[in-house]
Amino acid sequence: MAQVTLDNVNKVYDNGYHAVHDLDLDVQDGEFLVLVGPSGCGKSTALRMVAGLESISDGKLTIGDRVMNDVHPKDRDIAFVFQNYALYPHMTVRDNIGFALKLRKTPKAEITTRVEEAARLLELTELLDIKPGQLSGGQRQRVAMGRAIVRRPQVFLMDEPLSNLDAKLRVQMRAEISRLQHDLGVTTLYVTHDQIEAMTMGDRVAVMSKGQLQQVDTPQNLYDRPDNLYVATFIGSPQMNLLMGTLALDGTPHLTVGRHRLDIPPSVVAARPALRGYDGRELVVGIRPESLEDAGLDSDPGGVRSIEAIVELREGLGSEVVAHARFEGTAPRVEAAQRDPDATLTGEAGVELVARLDPRTTVKVDEAARFTVDVENLHLFDQETTLAIRD
Amino acid sequence: MTTLDNAPVTGGAVIGPSMEPVGQRTHRILSRVPTGVLWLIVVLWTVPSFGLLVTSLRSEADQISGGWWQAFTDPSFTLENYDKALFSPPGGTLPFSDSFINSFAIAIPGTIIPIAIACAAAYAFAWMDFRGRHWLFIGVLAMMAVPVQMSLVPLQQLYSGGAHLTLGGSTFILIPDMDLNNKPIAVWLAHTAFGLPLAIYLLHNYIAGLPRDVFEAARIDGANHFGIFWRIVLPLAKPAIAAFAIFQFLWVWNDYLISLIFLSQNRDASPLTIQLVNLVTSRGQGTELLPAAAFISMVVPLIIFFSLQRYFVRGLLAGSVKG
C-alpha cells in the first residue's frame, strides 16, 4: 500500500503539445481517486505518466517514499487496467492472470493458488482454461481486473476500464470494482470521462480540463461547492443553469436576473465575505436544476425569490419532471466562450433553464410558469475569472 | 422458373420460362467468363506437369517411341526410372536420394536463419526506439532492389579471400579469409542475406500492427524487450512467420543459381537442382531419368503447398488488414 504524489508534473510532447500543466495531485494510501474530464484533457496522459508508459517532462512523481520519475514500469509495483483490456490473445485466462507472476519467477504452486484465488474473487473459475477470444466483454474486463489484483500491487491504475461495456454491465462492474477496491484497500487512480462513474466510485474526484487540474474534492463537495464555472457545469446532470445577474447589497441583499428580483438571505452573504466587492456588479449566477421548483408547490410569499419562464419541454420521469423553460435573461458570455470559443451567445434572447420538479407539478408546455429558486443554494461566480465567489 | 408460369401477364408481353430479358442473359453469360478463363489457365498449366508425371513412369524405349499421350492407348508403366534416379544414376551424378537430403540440409537452415534474424529485426524496427531507426529501416527495404546476380561475384571473392584494405604500405584485414566456398554455410549465408529484406519487411508490417496496449500491459507485468519478443510477439506473429517460412523454403529449395555459384564444386553437398542439370549433360545418357528426377525434386514443394495452402492466403493478407 502506498500514497501517490504528483508534484508539479508536466507533460510536453516532442511536437510541442503541452498535455499536462503543473499537475499537483495526492492520492492517499488506500484511497480511490477518480480523474475525470472530457477527452483530450490530459487525464490519461497523467495516468500513463504514473504508470511509466509516458516519460515525465517536468516535476516529481513519488509512490510510497520513492521518486519514480525514471523507474521502469515493472519496478513501480503498480497494475494497470487498460480500456481495451489488452489481454494476451494467445494465452488462456489462467496464463493471462499469472503472466506477471511467472515473469517474476514466482514458484509454480504459488502462481496456481494466487491465480485461482483471484479467479474466485472475480467469478472466473470456470473460464480459466479458455482464451480471451471466446470471452464476452464483461468477462474480458474481469480477466483484466484479475491480472491487476493477482500481483497485489501498491497501486491500481485504471484507464476507462468500463467504457467498452454496455450500460447495464457498466453499472454492475462499477459496483464490483468499488467493492473490490474497498476489500483490497489498494490505492487506486481511476480515469474516466463519465462524471457519473466519477461521482459514484471515487472517494475523491479530480476534475481536469485542457491539461489543468480544476478541483479535487469529495464528490459531494464538488457538487455543492464547485471552485469554478468549469467544475460547476461539468459535475451534475442535467447541468447547472447559468445566467447573468446584478448584485445589490444595500437594504435587503438581492440579485436582479432579467426582470426578476431574488432576495438573498443574509446567511448566504455572510458565508461569502468576498461578495462585498461585487456590490452593484454583474456576476454569474448558477442554479442547480433541483434548486428550481414549481411555485405552485413551494410557497413564496411576496414573490421575492421566484422567476417566470415559458416551458418549452416537459419530460416526465416518474419520480420527477424535468422541465426546460426559456427565461428572459442573459446567458453568461464567459461560460459560452469556455465551451466553444466561436460561440456568440450575446444576442440570444433568453436562457434555457432546466428544472427538476416534483411529479405533482402542473406546468404545461408553451405556458408561462413560476419557479421558486432555492436561494440558500445559489452558486455565484466572477464573470472574468470564472472562479467561485467565496472568501 | 416454373413460378413464372403463374405470374400475371402484364403489358401484353408474355414472359415464358425460356425467355428472360436480353440484358439478364448477357449478364449471366458474361459472369461465367472469368471462371471459364480460370479453368482454361488451370488446364494449360496442369497438362505439362501431368505429361511429365506420365513420362516419368514410362520406360526408356516407350519414351523414345512417342509422346506421353500414347500412354492412354498403350498403357505400360514402370518405376524403373525412379529407382535409377534415386539410387544409381549414370555418370558422375550424385544419387538423388543423397541430393534430396542435401536439399533439405540447405533449405532448412536457409529458412530458419533468416527468419530468426528477421523476427528480431522486425520487432526492433516496430517497437524499439533508437536513433536512426527510420532511415535504417528504409535502408533495409532498399536492399530489396539489389539484384542477386550483381552481388554474386563480390560475395564469392569475400568467401574465398576475405576483405582487405591497403592504405599507404600497410594492409588491414577487414574480414578474414574464411574459405567458405563450396561449403553449405556459403549457401546458407547467401540465402539469409538475400531473403532478409523481404522477411523484415513482411514481419515488420505484421508486428507493427499488433495492438500497443498488449505491449504496454506486458511491460507493466514485468517483461523486458526480450520477454515481450519471446512470449508475446513470436506467438502472435505465427501466421506471418509461417507464410514467410513457406515462401523462403520453396525459394531456397528451388534455387539453382546460388548453389551453382557457391556449391557446385562440392558434389557430395550439392542439392537436387544441381544434380538435375548434371543428369542431362552427361553425354546424353540418363535423359530418360529426367522426368522422374524432376518429379522427385517437386515432391516437397507440392506437399508443402497443399498441406499449408491456408497460410499462403491468410499469411500474406495478414498485416494489411487488421483482424
pLDDT (tens digit, 9 = 90+) per residue, B6-20? Answer: 444 444 445 555 566
Q: State the pLDDT at residue B70.
A: 83
Q: Which residues of A touch B233 (CB under 8 A)?
A: none
What are the CA-CA distances from residue A242 to residues A238, A279, A293, A335 (Å)?
Answer: 12, 19, 16, 8
Task: Confirm if B198 and B121 have CB atoms less than 8 A apart.
Answer: no
List, as ranges, residues 149-168 from A with C-beta within 8 Å of B. Answer: 151
CB-based contact A90 B216, cutoff 8 Å:
no
**Which residues are registered as beta bridge partners of A60?**
A7
d(CA B34, CA A376): 81
H/E segment holding residue A157: strand A155-159
Where exactly does CATH 1.10.3720.10 map onto chain B?
96-320
pLDDT for the residue B18? 58
CA angle A142/A143/A145 to nearest 5° reads 65
Does residue B4 carry a pLDDT above 60?
no
pLDDT at position B166, please? 84
Smallest CA–CA distance from A78 into chain B, residue? B220
Q: Is the pLDDT of residue B35 over 80?
A: yes
Answer whether A104 sits within 8 Å of B214, measured CB to CB. Answer: no
The alpha carbon of residue A86 is apart from the nearest alpha carbon of chain B, in Å, by 5
Phi and psi for A359 in degrees, rounded to 5? -65, -15
pLDDT confidence tier of residue A1, bands split at 50, 70 and 90: low
What is the pLDDT, as a whole number, of residue A49?
A: 94
* Confidence check: pLDDT of B197 > 50: yes
Q: Is A33 on the interface with B (CB under 8 A)?
A: no
Q: Quick check: B220 and A80 CB within 8 A?
A: yes
Instruction: Compute the half-sphere exposure of residue A210: CA atoms within 13 Å on the CB side of its CA.
Output: 5
Q: What distance in Å separates residue A16's CA from the closest CA in chain B?
A: 19
The closest alpha carbon to A358, from A322, A324, A326, A327, belongs to A322
Residue B240 at interface with chain A, using a CB cutoff of 8 Å: no
Q: CB of B226 within 8 Å of any CB in chain A?
A: no
The DSSP letter of residue A359 is: T
Q: B96-320 belongs to which homologous superfamily?
A: MetI-like (1.10.3720.10)
CA distances from A117 to A151, A152, B220 (A): 12, 12, 21
Which residue did the predictor score with more confidence, A1 or A386?
Answer: A386
**What was the pLDDT predicted at B41?**
94
Provide mean pLDDT across the span A43-53: 93
Strands A187-192, A155-159: pairing is: parallel
pLDDT of residue B146: 86
Task: Say whether B217 and A147 touch across the interface (CB within 8 A).
Answer: yes
Min Cα distance A118 → chain B (Å) is: 16
Choose among A73, A88, A90: nearest Cβ to B219: A73
Residue B2 has pLDDT above 60, yes or no: no
Whether B322 has its CB under 8 Å from any CB of chain A: the answer is no
What contacts B177, CB < 8 A, 6 or more positions away?
B160, B161, B162
- For residue B115 the three cell numbers come to 527468419
Mean pLDDT of A195-224: 93
C-alpha distance from residue B318 to each of A88, B235, B240, B313 (Å): 18, 14, 7, 9
C-beta separation of B188 from B113 below 8 A: yes
- Model pLDDT, residue B7: 45
Residues A8, A23 contacting (CB under 8 angstroms) = yes
Whether residue B133 is predicted with pLDDT greater than 60 in this model: the reply is: yes
pLDDT band with cut points at 50, 70 and 90 for residue B153? confident
Confidence of residue B31 (pLDDT cuts 50, 70, 90): confident
The per-residue pLDDT for A33 is 95
Confidence band, pLDDT 50/70/90 cuts, at residue A12: very high
| Confidence bin at A345 (pLDDT 50/70/90) | very low
Q: What is the pLDDT of residues A73-98, one digit of tens each?
A: 989 999 999 998 899 999 999 999 99
Length of chain B: 323
SS3 (DSSP) at B182: coil
Alpha carbon distance A356, A300 (integer Å): 18
CB contact under 8 A, A53 and B217: no
B234 and chain A in contact, CB less than 8 A = no
Query: Of B212, B220, B230, which to mutate for an interface test with A (greatest number of A Cβ within 10 Å)?
Result: B220
Q: Which residues of B touch A99 (CB under 8 A)?
A: 218, 221, 231
Query: What ipTM was predicted for this assembly?
Result: 0.82
| A55 contacts chain B (CB < 8 A) | no
| Closest chain B C-alpha to A90 CA, distance in angstroms | 7
Average pLDDT, chain B: 84
Q: Touching check for A344 and chain B: CB below 8 Å?
A: no
- b or e along A89-98 (b: 16 or more beta carbons within 10 Å of the residue's beta carbon)? bbbbbbbbbb
Residues of B in Cβ contact (< 8 Å) with A73: 216, 219-220
Please indicate whether, in this complex, the C-beta atoms of B220 and A79 are within 8 angstroms of each other.
yes
Return the half-sphere exposure (C-beta side, CA atoms, 13 A cut-off) of residue B265: 7
Does this model's pTM top 0.95?
no
Residues A379, A336: Cα–Cα separation, whole Å: 17
Q: How confident is the model at residue B95 (pLDDT cuts 50, 70, 90)?
A: confident
The per-residue DSSP string of B63-74 comes to HHHS-TTHHHHS
Cα–Cα dist B229/B119, whole Å: 9
- For residue A155, the distance in angstroms to the closest alpha carbon of chain B comes to 12
- Show the cell assigned to A151: 500481483
Any CB–CB contact under 8 A between A71 and chain B? no
